[in-house]
Amino acid sequence: MWHDDGTVDHIFYRASAKGYYRDHIILHEICHMLEFENRELLDVGMHKIEERLAGAPAYSNETEELAEIFSSMVLACVEHKRRHTKRTAAERRVRDLFGVSGGAAHA
């Protein structure tokens, strides 16, 4: 969940959310932050703010779909880059010593 207290943006998620799921939640909420800022700049009026204050859903299904796609695409790009980035000798040594696989990056 994203909360803007007027000074700082906060993203909250369950403590049990780990790894990919946690990252997906955070990116999803960042997408909402970016969209909200753009709407503010366009001055679409008080309707969105009134919805939020009244406790009504602040996002449409279209917006939720966009946030889901955004999250998935960012994570897919990160995974692709990670898989296709060669590790340094030090990174390979850490992997070998501590058993940290870090995925399927090339050795």
- Given a contact cutoff of 8 angstroms between Cβ atoms, the answer to whether 48 and 39 are in contact is yes
Give the tens place of pLDDT for each residue, 43-79. Answer: 444 455 455 555 555 556 888 888 888 899 999 988 8
Q: What pLDDT shows up at residue 3?
A: 81
CB-hemisphere CA count at 13 Å for 84? 6
CA atoms of 19 and 58, how far apart (whole Å): 27
Residue 4's pLDDT band (cuts 50, 70, 90)? confident
Q: What is the dihedral of CA 16, 1, 58, 49, to 10 degrees?
A: 160
What's the pTM? 0.56
Q: Say what the pLDDT of residue 37 is.
A: 65
Report the run of H or E that residue 4 belongs to, with start and end.
strand 2-4
Residue range 21-39: average pLDDT?
84
Question: pLDDT digits over 75-105, tens only?
Answer: 998 888 888 888 888 888 887 888 765 544 4
pLDDT at 105: 44
Dist. CA 48–CA 50, nearest whole Å: 5
Show me where the domains of the chain are located. 2-98
